[in-house]
A and B are shown apart, each in its own frame.
Chain A
Amino acid sequence: MKPPTDRGSLVLGAYVYAVLAFIIVPLVIVIPMSFSQNDYLAFPPTGFTLKWYAEYFDSRQWRAATWLSVQVAFLTAICASLIGTAATYAMVRGRSRLVTMFQILLIGPIIVPHIALAVGLYLFFQTIGLSGTVAGFVLAHTVLTLPFVVFTMAAALGKVDANLEAAAMSCGATRFQAFRFVTLPLVLPSLASGALFAFIISFDEPVVSFFLSGIRQKTLPRRMFEDIEQNLTPVIPAIATLLIVLSIAILLGGHALRSRSKTQSSAG
């Protein structure tokens, strides 16, 4: 006799697969479109060509936008991890009553609509002359990506026993040395994974970049929107495909780092 069929779990399974399909199908559509011979967006694609990739790599405008985005994302990752780590350390170890307020401020950018933030930053940066500069982008993106660093680091730092630092200090380490030699090595995988998050979020952030971009200084997402408005050629799916590959690589890298940090902290 067969065990009775559980209808509930069947429905749940179907639902889960539906959600997954809903997430993955757009990706599956974009990739073949980038190899299509039509010079407009079409699905199903016809023929096979790499010319849209060639166009992307040959175009000075595309390359400039990509280079700006790489610069901004790289600097954002560094700023967000430095500030995020220091802030999270203060939050996790601090005894101040301001900690809760501080926490809300730090994760605020996730709750506030990006468009509101963008308008505010736009007006402010216009006045002080940061609009369209690398520094302006990095500042804005650091604010946007901080919550992600804070979340990863809060989990990691929370797992490091504060007594380990006390022990290091009783061994003669200064507070900074205790952090440098004991805490930092233990949270380094999470820090790297937070930095990767910051990088990828900054790299394809469209809303704030839309407002902050100047005539020459355009980030890749901003340039893509422009192209969509004006041409809408399969260069867009080609770039999208490249971004998908990059994102997956970074996510897998981050995952590998986090699982390494898990084995290490369980070692403690």
Chain B
Amino acid sequence: MGNEIFVKPASTTSAAAGASIRISRLEKRFGPVFAVDGVNLDIAAGEFIALLGPSGSGKTTILMSVAGFEFPTSGTIQVDSEDLTYVPSNRRNLGMVFQNYTLFPHMTILDNVAFPLKMRGLPKAERHARAEAALATVRLGGYGSRRPNELSGGQQQRVALARAIVYQPRVLLMDEPLSALDKNLREDMQLEIKRLHAELGITVIFVTHDQSEALTMADRIAVLKDGKIQQIGPARELYERPANLFTAGFVGEMNFVDVTVESVGDLVSVRLPWGETWQLPPTAAVDAATVGEAAVMAVRPERLRLGTGAAGQVVKVTLSDIVYAGAAMLLIGRLPDGTELRARIPGASQLDALAPGDVATFTVPGEAILLYRGTRR
């Protein structure tokens, strides 16, 4: 080994280009269980992709297959059109950051960061110089002589980041790298990683179960469930128009009401559980609506308006909780049929008069409503 591992010349100014990644018909079976079930994913060079899903959705298995720690049952993984599907992990030249830092406890920070260069046979002086530079990139210059246990969690994860980028790989894989950090630190690190991504031009695959993290960081997000990609797209698209009920419920907060489709024409009319009929714009139907079939109406809590001032459907809600949540008030109540409804209303002044038990009137703008086939119950 050694000589086939490619080390780019040291340079801190010019951005190293990322590699494109093509995952085709990837399948991983553990006995009868499909951990990954026919995943296709094209990632452009320099793109930041988040794999988002609940535990057991297959997101980590996909990442581990790209990293070379799992070999898929079938399918291929190409990096810059080179087939890496069954190449051992140590020959893939991909940077990897793990959830629990995984720094080598018996080495100094500098030796930790220089380790990939040592494996590539670089002379000591050069690998130390480049490790110093990588530490400076993650704003930890001067920490080289310390031991991992002398650093905080956030600092340790930045060292792990430096170690993953020190040999200027073209792809950076991250397996829930921030989930062990507390909230404030996590937000700092999100920005730090974004900055690094912009600076290095590296392709990033980022696994997370935290949807706000995925929305904040990634160019595109692949939402996974049961080993299948549910939807892939930029944050805005995912949030504004989830492709199916699962994504709608998993990404962000969402209110759901079971309805029945009554007619489909210039407007889609649906009957609500408490007997009212609402006319919705045809764009509301994410899935094609069929007359007589059950459907689910979805609305984001922050799209609801208090009172009847705006255009849209009007709904009466019996409030059960009024929660002060900083930037907005969270109102929780029940619709006439008992379905729970959440509303996030900015500006607290108009809410002073409301108390739990009151009946509040909300307006639901037509363009805020999404309609899916199926049922929540």
- Does A264 touch B at the CB level, under 8 Å? yes
B105 CB-CB contact with A under 8 Å = yes
A163-B100, A171-B115, A171-B116 given; A186·B106 CB < 8 A? yes
Indicate whether B214 reaches chain A with its CB closer than 8 angstroms. no
Q: Are B119 and A170 in contact, CB atoms less than 8 angstroms apart?
A: no
Q: Which of B98, B106, B160 has the most CB of A within 10 A?
A: B106
Q: Is the CB of A166 closer than 8 A to any CB of chain B?
A: yes
With an 8 A cutoff between CB atoms, is B5 at the interface? yes
- Cα distance A172–B88 in the bound complex, in angstroms: 10
Q: Which residue of B lies closest to A160 (CB)?
A: B105
Please, what's the 1-or-0 string for A153-186, where 1 marks a CB less than 8 Å from any CB in chain B? Answer: 0000000010110111111111101100110011
Q: Is A126 an interface residue (CB 8 A)?
A: no
Report whether A268 and B119 are in contact in the complex, using a CB–CB cutoff of 8 Å.
Answer: no
Select which of A170, A185, A264 is within 8 A of B67 by beta carbon.
A170
Instruction: Say yes or no for A267: interface residue by CB 8 A criterion.
Output: yes
Number of contact residues on B: which range applies?
20 to 34
Chain A residues with CB under 8 Å of B95's CB are: 170
Cα(A265)–Cα(B96), bound, Å = 23
Q: Is B147 an interface residue when CB atoms closer than 8 A count as contact?
A: yes
B 140-160 contacts with A by CB, 8 A = 147-149, 160
Tell which of B88, B94, B105, B115 touches A168, judged by Cβ atoms closer than 8 Å. B115
Task: Let me know if A174 and B1 touch, CB within 8 A.
Answer: yes
Select from chain A the residue with minimum beta-carbon distance to B99: A163
Q: How far is the CB of B334 from chain A (nearest CB, A)?
A: 46
Q: Do the beta carbons of B119 and A177 come within 8 Å of each other?
A: yes
Does the CB pair B5–A268 fall under 8 Å? no
A182, B104: Cβ atoms closer than 8 Å:
yes
Whether B89 sits at the interface, judged by CB under 8 Å, is yes
Contact: A164 with B102, CB < 8 Å? Answer: yes
Q: What chain B residues lie within 8 Å of A170 (beta carbons)? A: 67, 89-90, 94-96, 164, 173
Q: Does the CB pair B115–A181 fall under 8 Å?
A: yes
**Chain B 95-123 interface mask (CB, 8 Å, partner A; 1/0):** 11011101011100000000110111000
Chain A, interface size: which category?
20 to 34
Of A163, A174, A181, A267, which contacts B90 at CB under 8 A?
A: A174
> Which listed residue (A163, A171, A177, A268) contacts B148, Cβ 8 A?
A268
Contact residue among B99, B100, B148, B160 (Cβ-Cβ distance under 8 Å from A267): B148
Instruction: Give the complex CA separation of A182 and B115 in angstroms.
Output: 10
Chain B residues whose CB sits within 8 angstroms of the CB of A175 once the complex forms: 90
A131 CB → nearest B CB, Å: 44
Cβ contacts under 8 Å, A168 to chain B: 104, 115
B102-A166 in contact (CB<8A):
yes
Expressed in whole angstroms, the Cα–Cα distance for A171 and B118 within the complex equals 9
- Cβ-defined contact, B94 with A186, below 8 A: no
Those of B52-67 within 8 Å (CB) of chain A:
67
Complex Cα gap A174–B149 (Å): 26
Partner of A172, one of B90, B105, B147: B90
Closest to B111 in A: A181
For the complex, what is the distance from the CA of A171 to the CA of B104, rounded to whole Å?
Answer: 12
> Which chain B residues lie closer than 8 Å to A186 at the CB level?
105-106
Question: B69 contacts the other chain (Cβ, under 8 Å)?
Answer: yes
For the complex with contacts A161-B100, A170-B67, A172-B167, 14 further pairs of A-B residues with Cβ separation under 8 Å are A166-B89, A166-B96, A166-B98, A167-B102, A167-B160, A168-B115, A170-B164, A171-B116, A173-B119, A175-B90, A178-B90, A182-B104, A186-B105, A266-B149
14 residue pairs A–B, Cβ–Cβ below 8 Å: A163-B102, A166-B89, A167-B102, A172-B5, A172-B93, A172-B119, A173-B115, A177-B90, A178-B90, A181-B104, A267-B105, A267-B106, A267-B148, A267-B149
Tell me the A residues contacting B by CB distance below 8 Å.
Answer: 161, 163-164, 166-175, 177-178, 181-182, 185-186, 264-268
Query: Which 5 A-B pairs rank lowest in CB-CB distance, beginning with the nearest?
Result: A268-B105, A170-B96, A172-B119, A171-B116, A167-B102
